[in-house]
Structure formats: structure tokens, C-alpha cells
Structure 1
């Protein structure tokens, strides 16, 4: 299945599901929380696809140095560059294997190698595009291509190592984001459990009109639900940006926080 078709299908499914839930809720249930959930479901398919693409690109970045090292070794045995690349087609490189098999097929068709590599680079991330661009320039200039494959592979390994170190360094910041969210939930729950009932008690004793404050309590409960969902969503995205350098990577954190927040709402509010 082509990636564009997958994105279209996921987006269509979640959009139809979200709109259907929203219409059913507006006609039959009129639940504020369900309306919010329905609205958030609509773009879920697109974001899920983007996250899948992000994970695939990360795996390609991690396995690309292995591919470069194997190609360099094949070149040193006397193979030409196309032969060296073709010899790796049966080696498993995770998500990169699909791209390598496509490159091998294009080589068999007689497509110029620099065009093949350029097309491959255009489907990858910026760090890989820079690496492939260096390889293409060396290939066109007739330099020591085996050494370039080795050096670019080592550079890619170093970049991956730095990214992992950055993730470890900002781990405490990620934990801080979770703690802040849980504190936020706790504050809202305490307000709903203790503050709102106190206002109701005060109104019944001083004013004698409990209906207004009953409606006010329901309003605050709905507002707190919306705030927790919004806070969980955007806190997760920020955590992903801090820890992995990508907002899309924060989707998993957003899902965790929204689920935890929703469970807290069901239990306490």
C-alpha cells in the first residue's frame, strides 16, 4: 500500500468516526466531554500516520551507517559501486531494506546512480540528505568512494549517538513535564471535590438558591475535563520536542497523558 493511500485512509476513517460521534452526541446525548473527544478524534488519523513516518525515518537513520559500512567493504573487495549496493539487497536493515531493494531494481533498469541516490535522499530526513549529497558529490568527482562511505557512516553513527545523549540529558525535563501535568490534574480534582461543593453549601445557606450553583458545578466539571485533555495533548507535544527534537514524537506522550487524565476524570469527577 502506498504511503499516500495509507494516510488518506487513516485520515478518512478517523474523520468519519469523529464526525459521526459528534453528530450522535449532539442529537441524542449532549455530553460536553464526548464532543471534545469527537473533535480530537478527527485529526487523529493524520497524526498517527505522521508518527509512523517519524518512527520509520528514525529507524532508517539508525540503520543507514550499517548499510554504508557494508557497501564500503564490498567496494574494497573490488566491486563497483552499483555491484556493492546490489550485494547488500538480501541484508536486513529494518525499514531501510525497502529503499535498498528499490535502489537495486533501479540499478538493474540502468538508471544513473546519482539520480537514484538523489531520489532516495528526497524521501528521507535532512541529516540523511546531507550524507547522501556528500556521497553523490564524491561519486561524480571520482574520489575515494570507499573512504567516503566509511567516513559518512561514522558521522551518521556519531549524530545518532549525540541524539541519544540529548534524549538522556533532557530525561529529567521530560519527567518534570509529567509531574507538572499530574499536579495540574490534582489541583483540578481538589477544586471539583472540595471547592465547588463548598460554594454550593454557601449558596444554600446564604442565598437559598441551589439550582444556579448546581449548574455552575456542572459547568466547572465540563471545563475541567476540557482543560485536562488540552493540557495533556500539548504537554505531550512539548515533551516530545524537548526529548527527541520532534513535535510528532510527542504524540505518544500526549496519548499517555490524555488517557491518564481521562481516567482520573472518570474516577474523581
Structure 2
């Protein structure tokens, strides 16, 4: 019994002893691993926040502001308001409130503020539409070449790899990126979805979605590629035909504004100038009548200048809507006609 108690005590003490958790080196290693996991999780959270929302804007402000034409208004609108109200307050402070009626400098600040607001948007929109147009025009050839190579017995990854060595204009870098992703082991469907997101055009999204779903369903992918090529080709041709057919209406809008400018120039330089001279002469001789009253020629010029600039601005928006189906596309016409109207009245009329 004594021997049994001795063994039991010994084994019991050995079983109850747990030196590993109480080992200071073990606790130090566990704490180090926990700190590393916490640090990694914090970095991942910070990286995730930097890819979306305000964090993405702080990390890539220029990219966020220029990826869509409307985004630049976040900077342009406050800047234009600062320019306009700063000029307004400085003019009133120096010359008094009557400067609004006796000088055209406030009009200059207004024109400058409008141009600051619309010119960056017009430039970015023109660049974005040119990019989309170049990409969509190259898509039919790309899909058609893939379909032909797939018909010859090539797998889709091999066909994409061979096509990536060809030249497709603005689409070439995107095709090579698609080839690289597939060579790294990304599946064809996932790579095609990424390809469509990188292009960022409605036509590309529709075509890529059609190809990816047909590939998942296991149908004849060559026929689907050929159908996507025909669809993109017809869509691009219809868009070009629409632009060609509506071009005449855009020209009519621009010509009507030019005619308005010409009529105002003739009216101011001949009729109103003559009437102002005759009215001043009659008033000087004391023979003025109600009909020959003094004409405030600068006030008429300013009124006609405002009319020409307003018509030019909104005529440009109408031209964009009729020509390209988007009001924002008319900002480039509005900016050009606004500058011409201001320049003509400020230096020639």
C-alpha cells in the first residue's frame, strides 16, 4: 500500500505538473505571435480602408478626381466660387457698390468662374469618350480573332496568349494584362470579368458578361465570341451613324449662335452707334425730343454681351444633347462659344 501510494503520488504530481504553459519563453513567443497577428490585421484594415471611400481619395487624389469627369467638380466648384466672390468683394471694396453698374469687370470674374467650373469637366469628358470610343472600336476584331483561333483547336488561354502579341490600339495593354492574369493561374471567366471592369465601358461589360456566362454553361464558345463580335460591331456602327446624322443639327445650333453674334455686331456698330451720336448732337443743340433721347450705348453693349454669352452657353448644351445624347458633352461647345462671345464684345464691339 505504501508502494502504491508512493507511485500514485509520484504519477499524480507528474500529471498535474504543466511546465510548458508556465515557461516564460513559451509565454514570450505566444505574446509575440499575438502582437504580430494584431499588427498584420491592423495593416490589412488600413489597406482595405485606403482602397475605398475617403481613404482612397487621400491615397490617390488625382486618380479619384480624374476617373470620372464629374468628380473634378469637387475642386472646380469651390475654386470658381472663391474666384467670383473674391473678385466681387475686392471690386466693391475699392470702387464701391456702383461698380456693378458702371464697369464690366464683374462680368469678367463671372466668365472666369464659369470657365474654371466647366473647362476641366469638358476636357476630362472628351478624353474619356475618346478612350471608350477607341476601346469599343477594337473589341470586334479581338473577339473575332479569339473565335477563329478557338475554331482551329486552340484553348482559350493559348488563343489569348497568341492574340496578346498582336496590335489592337488602345485595347492592347488590356489584352496583355488579361494574358498575364491567365498565365498566373486566374481562370478564364474570372479573368474576363476583370478585363471588362478594367475597360469600364457598358458595351464591354455586356459582351464580357455574355462570354463568361456562355463559358460557364459549356456551350460553343466560338459562336458566342463571334456573336459578341457582331454585337459590338453593330453597336459601334450605330453610334457612329447616329453621330453623323445628328451632326447637321449641331452645325445648325452653332450657326444660329454665329448669326445672332453677327446681327448684334451690325446692330451695335451701325444703328445704335448712329442713334447715340444723333441723340448726343440733338441734346447738345437743345433740340432733343422724346424720340431722339440720349442712348446709353455701353449699357446696350453690356446687355447684348450677356445675351450672347447666355445663348452660347445653353446652345452648347443643346448641341451636346443632340449630337451625342449627353448634356455634359456640350460643355466643350459652351466653353468655346462663351469665350468667343466675351472676347468679341470686350475687344471688338
Aligned to 1:41: 115
Output the CA distance in 2 between the equivalents of 1:248 and 1:52: 13
The question of 1:31 aligning with 2:105 is answered: yes
Output the CA distance in 2 between the equivalents of 1:128 and 1:141: 20
The worse-fitting range, judged by mean Cα deviation, of 84-93 and 57-66 is 84-93
> Which of 245, 254, 265 pairs up with 2:325?
245
Offset at 1:144?
Answer: 1.1
Structure 1: runs of 5 or more not aligned: none
The worse-fitting range, judged by mean Cα deviation, of 158-167 and 6-15 is 6-15
Offset at 1:72?
Answer: 1.6
In the superposition, relative to structure 1, how do residues 206 and 172 fare at CA in structure 2: closer, same or farther (>3 Å)? Answer: same
Superposed CA RMSD in Å reads 3.3
**Secondary structure of the corresponding residue to residue 87 of structure 1:** helix
What do residues 184-209 of structure 1 show as CA deviations (whole Å, max 9, x unaligned)?
A: 21233234334544267447433798
| 1:73–1:146 CA contact under 8 A, matched in 2 | yes
Output the CA distance in 2 between the equivalents of 1:247 and 1:86: 41
Larger Rg: 2
**Where does 1:80-159 land on structure 2 (aligned, <5 Å)?**
80-122=155-197, 123-159=199-235
Offset at 1:65?
Answer: 0.7
Higher relative contact order (CA 8 A, sep 6+): 1
What do residues 57-79 of structure 1 show as CA deviations (whole Å, max 9, x unaligned)?
A: 11111111111112222222322
What do residues 10-55 of structure 1 show as CA deviations (whole Å, max 9, x unaligned)?
A: 7688668756754674436961332122112222223321221111
**Secondary structure of the corresponding residue to residue 95 of structure 1:** helix
The question of 1:76 aligning with 2:151 is answered: yes
Offset at 1:180?
Answer: 1.0
In the superposition, relative to structure 1, how do residues 132 and 41 fare at CA in structure 2: closer, same or farther (>3 Å)? Answer: same
In the superposition, relative to structure 1, how do residues 189 and 7 fare at CA in structure 2: closer, same or farther (>3 Å)? Answer: farther
Output the CA distance in 2 between the equivalents of 1:238 and 1:255: 13
Output the CA distance in 2 between the equivalents of 1:45 and 1:70: 38
> Which of 238, 256, 261 pairs up with 1:180?
256
Number of residue pairs matched?
A: 265
- TM-score normalised by L of structure 1: 0.80
| 2:115–2:335 CA contact under 8 A, matched in 1 | no
Output the CA distance in 2 between the equivalents of 1:183 and 1:175: 12
In the superposition, relative to structure 1, how do residues 93 and 252 fare at CA in structure 2: closer, same or farther (>3 Å)? Answer: farther
In the superposition, relative to structure 1, how do residues 242 and 74 fare at CA in structure 2: closer, same or farther (>3 Å)? Answer: same
The worse-fitting range, judged by mean Cα deviation, of 48-57 and 77-86 is 77-86
In the superposition, relative to structure 1, how do residues 188 and 88 fare at CA in structure 2: closer, same or farther (>3 Å)? Answer: same
In the superposition, relative to structure 1, how do residues 230 and 89 fare at CA in structure 2: closer, same or farther (>3 Å)? Answer: farther
Structure 2: runs of 5 or more not aligned: 1-59, 92-102
Output the CA distance in 2 between the equivalents of 1:246 and 1:185: 26
Aligned to 1:4: 64
Output the CA distance in 2 between the equivalents of 1:226 and 1:173: 24
The worse-fitting range, judged by mean Cα deviation, of 71-80 and 186-195 is 186-195
**Where does 1:246-265 land on structure 2 (aligned, <5 Å)?**
246-265=326-345
